[in-house]
Structure 1
Amino acid sequence: MNGAQTIRLSRNSYRTGTEEAERFAVPVEAPIAIETNGIAYAVMMATPIEIEDFVTGFLLAEGLAAAGEIGDVAVHPVENGEWGTGYVARVNLPPERLSLIIERARRRTGDSSCGICGIEGVEAALRPLPTLSRQSAASPEAIRRGLDALDAAQRLGRETRATHAAAFCNEEGMLLAIREDVGRHNALDKLVGALVRGGIDPAQGFVVMTSRCSYELVEKTVRAGIPLLVTISAPTDLAVRRARAAALSLCVVARDDAMLVVTDTQPSDEGATPLVEP
């Protein structure tokens, strides 16, 4: 499975009017059908690499299983003629999860794994989040090191300039895992799945992402038990409110020289000005 493929195109110059052939790398986007206990649960569009990690993180974000309940993920390619290859990922969850799977199972194609698939009604979409019990001990310098590591490790991003990345760093800013995808939600699901499958404690580090901070990213981070989320772009108001309610430390518009601290659950935040007034 490849994350990128090369296409032929032409480069046209605005100034000279000249045209020349060029080869250009673009990310692969393919349907991934997720089947749980033999039931078709969802079809998501994603970059078909690290599918096992993606399915694991997706199921955790959906609230269908706990980390220790997800078995082996079997991935099967399905040829689809001129549209290329799709994939079916099959996994078994404990029998006591079956009623929830059936209740929310459906066949639909989504843009990415936003974390509210198969949910009806506002109350269900904004169901209560757990409150994080551990605060992040990462310093601003550690976050800066994490940002540098994220930038250097984006292999698919450098090749295509069209993907998102999510990285997990320990509290000193050392990169432990990174995942990339055309969708920011997918990248985070893959990262969370990689932590679970790799036996890495999510409470002992933080996530850095190459995207804006939507509320779904906050919810996925909280449900994974990660105490700090850092994004390079701004948050939505709902992301801020959900982060505060769950005691998630949230830093945004993170750059080489500064970042905005939206929520900081550490004691040192006294006197800090929140990005959005309560």
Structure 2
Amino acid sequence: MLLHHPVQNSSHCSSNFLISIDPKSNQLDTLSMCMSYGKHVGVNRVSNGSTFIDKDVLAFESLLQIHVNDERITSLLGTPLQLEQLYVGHLFSEGYGDFRETKITLSRENELSYKIYGHGELTKETNLPTLVTTSCGACDGENLLELNKGIQHFIQPHPEYNHNELFAALQDMKSSQLGFQQTGGMHAAALWNHEEGLQCLSEDIGRHNAVDKSIGHALISRIDISKQFLLLSGRCGWDIVAKAARSGIGSIVSIGACSSLAADTARELGLRIFSFMKQDSCVIIGGLTHFLNENP
């Protein structure tokens, strides 16, 4: 099981710094070493009819700007951890190209703003920079019919699965969510298959960012992503299905519901979604096999 452990004490870190990370070096994210998953704040807590002053840990949410060749591609609102994985995974899952070999420079402006730089060949035309919130993924198409344009179909054989193993994998991921345990406010994503088990666990206040981080981790680690199940701690929307398809992932397992557009897209692109995964039940949408009459 692969976990990410940030250092709890951040007092030694300067508010402004610039570092470079070579993804091939397996170097721990230096920015992550400078902070916990959340920030201690004073709150009024209500319990059993009484109100008292207390403190709580709130998940960090910062502006994360992604730059390629000195051009700002997008701005994300997310948790400033595993930023090199986020950079590689976001650009790959959004169709901008493969940047796993890129030397990445991280710039911390302050607690609320980070810039991530890299250089390489863009395989997708860039539009005006967008701001992607933590509540949903990017949706820059002019209408819904254009959303799936250019996204490749999943044509690899779907890996075999066992219901009990999939449920156990989700439970394993849940018990390993240190950020959620600390703040109660972070989503998780991970990759899993029968041979290697749980891999590339990532957390973020935005579910799509958590997916990007898991995908980026897999790319940097040279994991065959087509043989993996993508695990989600919450619901599965269109943006997650699109990211999975662009990245070559054919199977998604979610604790929560699947949206109608996610279901339609999964069926169109040859993916399958295991939603509402419980110990003794789940709802499967998309290809059980490649035979159309078995694809509900």
| CA distance in structure 2 between the aligned counterparts of 1:93 and 1:86, rounded to whole angstroms | 23
Unaligned runs of 5+ in 2: 1-31
| CA distance in structure 1 between the aligned counterparts of 2:280 and 2:252, rounded to whole angstroms | 18
8 Å Cα contact 1:146-1:173 kept in structure 2: no
3-state SS of the aligned residue for 1:100?
Answer: coil
Among 95, 120, 130, the residue aligned to 2:152: 130
| CA distance in structure 1 between the aligned counterparts of 2:224 and 2:182, rounded to whole angstroms | 30
**1:143-158 correspondence to structure 2 within 5 Å:** 143-158=166-181
| CA distance in structure 1 between the aligned counterparts of 2:210 and 2:285, rounded to whole angstroms | 22
3-state SS of the aligned residue for 2:125?
Answer: helix
Partner of 2:217: 194
User: Which range moves more in the overlay, 261-270 or 139-148?
Assistant: 261-270
Quote how far apart the aligned CAs of 1:142 are: 2.0
Partner of 1:235: 258
Percent identity (aligned): 21
Quote how far apart the aligned CAs of 1:20 are: 2.1
| CA distance in structure 2 between the aligned counterparts of 1:173 and 1:270, rounded to whole angstroms | 32
8 Å Cα contact 1:171-1:204 kept in structure 2: no
Cα deviations by residue, 1:97-129 (Å, 9 ceiling, x for unpaired): 38824xx2x244320472445x54545433142
Partner of 1:5: 39
For normalisation by structure 2, the TM-score amounts to 0.80
Quote how far apart the aligned CAs of 1:150 are: 1.1
| CA distance in structure 2 between the aligned counterparts of 1:90 and 1:115, rounded to whole angstroms | 20
Coordinate RMSD, CA, aligned: 2.3
Partner of 2:276: 253
| CA distance in structure 1 between the aligned counterparts of 2:83 and 2:118, rounded to whole angstroms | 12
| CA distance in structure 2 between the aligned counterparts of 1:186 and 1:241, rounded to whole angstroms | 22
Quote how far apart the aligned CAs of 1:138 are: 2.2
Among 108, 112, 118, the residue aligned to 1:91: 118
Cα distance change on mapping 1:9 and 1:99 into 2, 3 Å:
closer
For normalisation by structure 1, the TM-score amounts to 0.85
**1:45-60 correspondence to structure 2 within 5 Å:** 45-60=77-92
Quote how far apart the aligned CAs of 1:248 are: 0.8
Aligned residues: 260
Higher helix share: 1
| CA distance in structure 2 between the aligned counterparts of 1:98 and 1:225, rounded to whole angstroms | 16
* Paired AA for residue 62 in structure 2: A
Partner of 2:232: 209
Partner of 2:63: 31
| CA distance in structure 1 between the aligned counterparts of 2:102 and 2:250, rounded to whole angstroms | 26
